[in-house]
Amino acid sequence: MGTGAPSKPKPVEVNPYHFWVARFWHGMLFGSWLALVRRNGARISLTRWPLAFTISCAAVLNSALRPLQEYLYRRYLDRTQIKDAPIFIIGHWRSGTTLLHELMVLDGRYTFPTTYECLAPNHALMSAWLVTKFKFLLPAKRPMDNMLTGWDRPQEDEFALCNMGLPSPYLTMAFPNEPPQYPEYLTLEGLSPQEVDRWKAGLEWFLKRVTMRDAKRIILKSPPHTGRIKTLLELFPDARFVHIVRDPYPLYGSTVKLWKTLYKFQAVQEPNHQGLEEYVFSNFERMYESFERDRLLIDPSRFFEVRYEDFVGSPIEHMRKLYDHLELGEFETVLPKLNAYFKDQEDYRAGTYQIPDSLRDEIDRRWGPYMRKYGYCQPKPVAAAG
- Tell me: the pLDDT tens digits for 170-195? 999 999 999 999 999 999 999 999 99
pLDDT in tens, 53-77: 999 999 999 999 999 999 999 999 9
Instruction: Answer whether residue 382 shows pLDDT above 50.
Output: no
> Residue ranges of the domains in the chain?
24-373
pLDDT of res. 352: 62
Q: For position 125, what pLDDT does the model report?
A: 97
What radius of gyration do the chain's Cα atoms show?
A: 21
Question: Has residue 347 got a pLDDT over 60?
Answer: no
Q: What is the predicted pLDDT for the residue at 343? A: 85
Nearest to 108 by CA among 214, 244, 220, 209: 214
**Torsion (CA) 169, 177, 45, 34 in degrees, nearest 10:** 30
- pLDDT confidence band for 4 (50 / 70 / 90): very low
Of 264, 256, 257, 253, residue with least CA distance to 173? 264
From 3.30.450.20, 3.40.50.300, 3.30.2130.30, 3.40.190.10, which CATH number describes the 24-373 domain? 3.40.50.300
Q: Give strand pairing partners of 238.
A: none
pLDDT at 5: 40
pLDDT tens readout for residues 101-146:
999 999 999 999 999 999 999 999 999 999 989 886 776 666 655 6
Q: Tell me whether residue 296 is exposed, middle or buried, using C-beta atoms within 10 angstroms of its C-beta: 0 to 12, 13 to 18, 19 or more.
A: exposed
State mean pLDDT over 272-292. 98
How high is the mean pLDDT of the chain?
90
| pLDDT (0 to 100) of residue 139 | 67
Q: Does 19 or 231 have the greater pLDDT score?
A: 231
The 3-state secondary structure of the chain, one letter per residue:
CCCCCCCCCCCCCCCCCCCCCCCHHHHCCHHHHHHHHHHCCCCCCHHHHHHHHHHHHHHHHHHHHHHHHHHHCHHHHHHCCCCCCCEEEECCCCCCHHHHHHHHCCCCCEECCEHHHHHCCCCHHHHHHHHCCCHHHCCCECCCCCCECCCCCECCHHHHHHHCCCCCHHHHHCCCCCCCCCHHHHCCCCCCHHHHHHHHHHHHHHHHHHHHHCCCEEEEECHHHHHCHHHHHHHCCCCEEEEEECCHHHHHHHHHHHHHHHHHHHCCCCCCCCCHHHHHHHHHHHHHHHHHHHHHHCCHHHEEEEEHHHHHHCHHHHHHHHHHHHCCCCHHHCHHHHHHHHHHCCCCCCCCCCCCHHHHHHHHHHCHHHHHHCCCCCCCCCCCCC
Q: Which pLDDT band holds residue 10 (cuts at 50, 70, 90)?
A: very low
Taking only the tens place, the pLDDT of each residue in 309-325 is: 999 999 999 999 999 99
Task: Kindly indicate the confidence band of residue 344, based on its pLDDT and cuts at 50, 70 and 90.
Answer: confident
149 pLDDT above the threshold of 80: no
For the chain, the farthest-separated pair of C-alpha atoms sits apart, in whole angstroms, at: 82
